[in-house]
Copies of this chain bind each other. A is one copy, B any other.
């Protein structure tokens, strides 16, 4: 073990000359460029000082600027948001809902649910909090109506199923829920939709209902937490990392001595950083959802950012899709806007790979890919999005992307040597505070 680690670090010095296995004496142009950038690297202590400054700035920002909430904006009555609630209080909410229905029947007004509208017309982007939220419009769902009898029945059934799940204090998937009454639900999209309705009705998150999505995220680095009571030390999770649990309410006791969270789009980059134990050189927590962010990873990131008060730096591909992924982490997706406050992590910094990096770090032409017309359209669409427009730096970067019609993956940095990402690119970025 120690032999291997020694060998690895010995080999680290002449990276540019051996990293590509080139045996010719004449260094390739890429190598000499990588060598050149390496010269700009200061000592780790100096880079750490730069990171620490960001960390302090981020903490003081958190403590000085009170987080703006809907009630600060006098919007809490006009807008609806759900929150995490414990098992007992969700059970009480269900009981109240059912009692209200019973009272309505006894009063001769019939069986009916009051269901918040989740339609696009009822959604609102609130710039002050930089999220999409739901307005408070709601509609009645009576049993004694041809158009709503089915939905009212499904709602009653989902309420009773969720109540049973909570009573046993277990978690199930949306698929499990669907299969308990296929005859009634007919199609999973129907039980899924009503599940979201129930979330809104009860004012709690879907996680609080104990109905979870499958997870695909992994985490390594300077983080200790408990997963269902088991203590997990993420510095001791090897290269594979710890799978992020599907049920965030069983996650607790987060502790960390990290200075930042590094959010990585792809698992190849995650593996590189995990194997190089990047988090030991620059104390951080490394997390990836392996592509499109899933709900479990979004909840986990939010939780880390909120409880540990750490700045989040993102490493994504330099293409519209990379930025789209950032937007999902930051602003949420439209069809879960009622839960945006729990799912979104504001203030993520775009570390790289940015369109301007391609020239700055002299990524060879053959490692850049031409953007398709569809890519360019996606880029232009992003330029119209509020969350991009409010960040001048991002607009400039996107304009470069659309103008040059070039994109590049994180993996393109491998052209300078396999460990260029962890040994040169990221340390240099951190040293120069090169994030937006």
Binding site for B on A (CB under 8 A): 1, 4, 7-8, 11-12, 18-23, 157, 160-165, 167-173, 175-183, 212, 214-216, 218, 226-232, 236-247, 250, 267-268, 271-272, 275-276, 290, 364, 366-367, 409, 411-415, 417-419
Given A8-B170, A168-B419, A228-B275: A246 touches B240 (CB 8 Å cut-off): yes
A232 touches B228 (CB 8 A): no
Specify which of A163, A242, A409, A413 lies most central, judged by the most chain B CB atoms within 10 Å of its CB: A242
Given A214-B271, A238-B230, A290-B214: A172 touches B418 (CB 8 Å cut-off): yes
Q: Which residues of B contact A271 (CB under 8 A)?
A: 171, 173, 212, 214, 246
Partner of A227, one of B169, B177, B231, B240: B240
The complex places the Cα of A20 from the Cα of B161 at a distance, in Å, of 6
The distance from the CB of A279 to the nearest CB of chain B, in whole angstroms, is: 13
CB nearest to A19 among chain B residues:
B164
Given A239-B227, A243-B243: A168 touches B414 (CB 8 Å cut-off): no
CB nearest to A179 among chain B residues:
B414
CB nearest to A161 among chain B residues:
B21
Given A176-B411, A243-B241, A246-B271: A18 touches B181 (CB 8 Å cut-off): no
B237 touches A1 (CB 8 A): no
The complex places the Cα of A276 from the Cα of B243 at a distance, in Å, of 18
The distance from the CB of A30 to the nearest CB of chain B, in whole angstroms, is: 9
A7 touches B169 (CB 8 A): yes
The distance from the CB of A154 to the nearest CB of chain B, in whole angstroms, is: 13
Q: Which residues of B contact A214 (CB under 8 A)?
A: 267-268, 271, 290
Other than the given A180-B414, A242-B242, 7 more pairs (CB < 8 A) read A4-B169, A11-B167, A20-B160, A20-B180, A21-B162, A180-B418, A239-B250
Q: Which residues of B contact A167 (CB under 8 A)?
A: 11, 18
Given A7-B169, A182-B364, A366-B183: A240 touches B244 (CB 8 Å cut-off): yes
A226 touches B238 (CB 8 A): yes
Please state the number of chain copies in the assembly. Answer: 2
The 3 closest A-B pairs by CB, nearest first: A227-B238, A240-B245, A21-B164
B175 touches A411 (CB 8 A): yes
CB nearest to A94 among chain B residues:
B21
Q: Which residues of B contact A12 (CB under 8 A)?
A: 168
A232 touches B227 (CB 8 A): no
Q: Which residues of B contact A21 (CB under 8 A)?
A: 157, 160-165
Q: Which residues of B contact A367 (CB under 8 A)?
A: 179, 182
The distance from the CB of A191 to the nearest CB of chain B, in whole angstroms, is: 12
Specify which of A8, A163, A238 lies most central, judged by the most chain B CB atoms within 10 Å of its CB: A238
The complex places the Cα of A162 from the Cα of B250 at a distance, in Å, of 43
A168 touches B236 (CB 8 A): no
The complex places the Cα of A1 from the Cα of B171 at a distance, in Å, of 15
A–B complex contacts, Cβ < 8 Å, 9 sampled: A172-B272, A172-B414, A176-B268, A179-B414, A215-B240, A216-B290, A218-B243, A226-B238, A228-B238
Q: Which residues of B contact A178 (CB under 8 A)?
A: 411
B229 touches A237 (CB 8 A): no
B268 touches A173 (CB 8 A): yes
The complex places the Cα of A240 from the Cα of B413 at a distance, in Å, of 32
Q: Which residues of B contact A175 (CB under 8 A)?
A: 268, 409, 411, 414
Q: Which residues of B contact A413 (CB under 8 A)?
A: 179
CB nearest to A277 among chain B residues:
B228
Q: Which residues of B contact A226 (CB under 8 A)?
A: 238
Q: Which residues of B contact A245 (CB under 8 A)?
A: 238-240
B236 touches A418 (CB 8 A): no
B171 touches A275 (CB 8 A): yes
The distance from the CB of A165 to the nearest CB of chain B, in whole angstroms, is: 7
The complex places the Cα of A412 from the Cα of B180 at a distance, in Å, of 8
The complex places the Cα of A229 from the Cα of B23 at a distance, in Å, of 32
B238 touches A181 (CB 8 A): no
Q: Which residues of B contact A1 (CB under 8 A)?
A: 229
Q: Which residues of B contact A161 (CB under 8 A)?
A: 20-21
B215 touches A181 (CB 8 A): no
The distance from the CB of A182 to the nearest CB of chain B, in whole angstroms, is: 4
